[in-house]
Amino acid sequence: MVRTCLAWLGLAGPLALAACGGGDDDAAPDARPAVDAEPGTPDARVPRTVFGGDRPVTLRVPTGYVEGTPTPLVLALHGYSVDGEFMEGYTGFGTLFETEGFLLAAPNGTIDEGGDRFWNGTDACCDLFGSGVDDEAYLLDILDEIALDYTVDPDRVYLIGFSNGGFMSYRLACHHADRFAAVVSLAGATYDDALDCTPSAPVSVLQVHGTVDPTIQYDGGTIDVEGAPVTYPSAQGTIERWSTSNGCTGSGAGTARDLVGSLAGDETAVLDATGCPAGVDVALRTVTGGSHVLPLSPDARASLWAWLEAHPRP
């Protein structure tokens, strides 16, 4: 399979044909994209504990953390072929954890037969070689380990995922809604079959997606998994499924926003579900002209945390 277009996008290897239309992506060098927020360099006084067994992850602990005070925790899940360090920088959460006072864990997926890190998210993305690795158990174990050593607020445990990490975030929210308050998905998608996602409790969801994303297409598409195409829903379809499962009754457009400085004007359309249970929101941010790795502004990165922070478990 073609491997020239997606090594840095969060997808690679056998996904290249489906994601790039046979190699037509016009902005995909074989290197990581430059992002203007590098992972934080926490003060040496900050306690940093390693969890996760054979896939260790360093917990980022803000200097203002006080034992005994319930503190929010964010799991940040990287895209296909990149890693947790990339995720800290891309989202800016590698710096925001310190200034905003939340615990942060950005773990790594396993490495597949093509040499790329992945999460076994939904059926579409991205256990491409059928390993069957139980990433749900791995990530839930990390949460449990952290909660033994730190005072985690159980009503403010959040997920933010990019691409494959967005798929994995939705899998966790679908199957363990009692553990997570809210999800931000950047260019991910939920299950195509609504029967695969029957959350036991409402989970607030924010989907951010570019309209010209060649990798995880805005209008939905397929990904080859073990040689067979598996469908994932559109960005709007993802939001509609979560609106239904959360008991929302309608939707309405809001004021457009500027999330991406390299695109002119207020390029991001706003769609919010209406009639949701108190304290629950489902939202879509459509970045007109946006590709897969959105060059989010510092204000946009801060707004992602602000959205999570505003949605504790009701």
- Stated as kind and residue range, the H or E segment containing 99 is helix 93-100
pLDDT exceeds cutoff 60 at 148:
yes
Q: Does residue 40 have a pLDDT over 50? A: no
Q: Please state which CATH class domain 13-309 belongs to.
A: alpha beta
Portion of the chain with pLDDT greater than 90, in percent: 80
Question: Residue 76: what pLDDT?
Answer: 98
Q: What is the pLDDT of residue 262?
A: 86
Scanning the structure block, which residue is given the tokens 């990433």? 135
- Report the chain's mean pLDDT, rounded to a whole number: 88
Give the side-chain half-sphere CA count within 13 A for 156: 19
The SS3 call for residue 94 is helix
Which pLDDT belongs to residue 261? 81
Max CA pair span of the chain: 54
Residue 219: how many CA atoms within 13 Å on its side-chain side?
Answer: 2
Q: What would the DSSP string read from start to end of 5-66? A: S-TTTT--GGGHHHHHTTT--SS--SSPPP-S-PPP---TTS---EESTTS-EEPB--TT--
What is the predicted pLDDT for the residue at 259?
Answer: 87
pLDDT of residue 74: 98
pLDDT band at 156 (very low <50, low <70, confident <90, very high): very high
Hey, where are the domains in the chain? 13-309
pLDDT at residue 41 above 90?
Answer: no
Q: Check: CB of residue 62 under 8 Å from CB of residue 97.
A: yes
- Please give the model's pTM, rounded to 2 decimal places: 0.88
